[in-house]
Amino acid sequence: MSDAITHEIGQKAPTFSCVDSQGVIHDSSTYQEQGKSVIVYFYPRDSTPGCTKQACDFRDNMARLSSEDYVVLGVSKDSEGSHQKFISKQDLNFPLLMDREGELHEKFGTWRLKKNYGREYMGCARSTFVIGPDGNFTWLRYNVKATGHVQMLLRELGLGE
């Protein structure tokens, strides 16, 4: 059984400092100092159909999110090269963080026991967290579907149609 942490809205989010595929360090305290809200989304693997759909949905809504002071950070255990290819091929306009050792997955509780066709294994539960400028979770969902997720998030943040 997985001992993954489960966070709740209003709870203090874990602090983090993680490098993206361009070598830039993203630090949660810096975003707080800037008064930004951070959308951190965890996805299983670059360039797979569901992960591509979700990333492209974030890409297509970046203008709306940026105009409301949201920063989007994608997180997976993929390599620098994999992230760079994914960003280039899909023309992504936000950073992808490299969590090769799974530290962020553990802190956010997204590395969980999964079941597929009767097989149990540990893997990334597709999940999204919104961290307010005060460092607290303002919205979160574990085990989301890739299709329609970003539109649901926008509606719940008051940014959707």
Mean pLDDT on 39-48: 96
What are the tens digits of pLDDT across the range 65-118?
999 999 999 999 999 999 999 999 999 999 999 999 999 999 999 998 888 888
17 neighbors 30 (Cβ within 8 angstroms): no
Asked if 51 is an active-site residue, the reply is yes
Residue 46, SS3 per DSSP: coil
* Domains (range + CATH), the chain: 17-155 (3.40.30.10)
The count of other CB atoms within 10 Å of the CB of residue 154 is 18
Q: Give the active site residue among 18, 51, 56, 124.
A: 51
Q: Which residue type does 148 have?
A: G
pLDDT digits (tens, 9 = 90+) for 11-37: 999 999 999 999 999 999 999 999 999
Cα 113–chain centre separation: 19
pLDDT of 160 > 80? The answer is no
Q: How confident is the model at residue 3 (pLDDT cuts 50, 70, 90)?
A: low
Is residue 72 within 8 A of residue 41, CB to CB? The reply is yes
